[in-house]
Amino acid sequence: MSEDEIIEARKGKASCEKGQAMLDLAGALLENGNLDEAFDAARDAGVTKKEMLEVAGHTALNWFTNSINRICRTQVDFPPAPDIE
């Protein structure tokens, strides 16, 4: 991914319908949004069940890791990602 694509992904934006559907699915999983709508949109965009499971797995793992680090107050030993607008 280019630097611009990474920044857009951090904003929840993708340059293609399928990528956008996967980002929207991850957001719906985190926000307890309308999952049926997110699943339907992902399917309509060509996202397979396997890919949806992968999105769910990555989303869950990142949420879990972030939660553990917050609870443990882990000291970050690498530079933070730059702010995005």
Question: Residue 84: its pLDDT value, please?
Answer: 86
In a domain, 81, yes or no: no
What are phi and psi for residue 83, nearest 5 degrees?
-60, 150
pLDDT at 85 over 80: no
In a domain, 77, yes or no: no
Residue 85 lies in a domain: no
Give the SS3 label for residue 77. coil
Q: What sign has the CA pseudo-torsion 40, 41, 47, 50?
A: negative
What digits encode the pLDDT tens for the residues 12-39? 899 999 999 999 999 999 998 789 999 9
Asked if the structure places residue 15 within a domain, the reply is yes
Q: Is 84 left (phi over 0), alpha (psi -120 to 50) or beta?
A: beta
Closest C-alpha among 5, 37, 4, 7 to residue 21: 37
Question: In this structure, is residue 64 part of a structural domain?
Answer: yes
Would residue 83 count as lying in a domain? Answer: no
54-82 pLDDT, tens per residue?
999 999 999 999 999 999 999 989 888 88
Q: Which domain holds residue 21?
A: 3-72
Token readout for 62 is 């990142």
Tally of domains within the chain:
1
Position 71 scores a pLDDT of 97
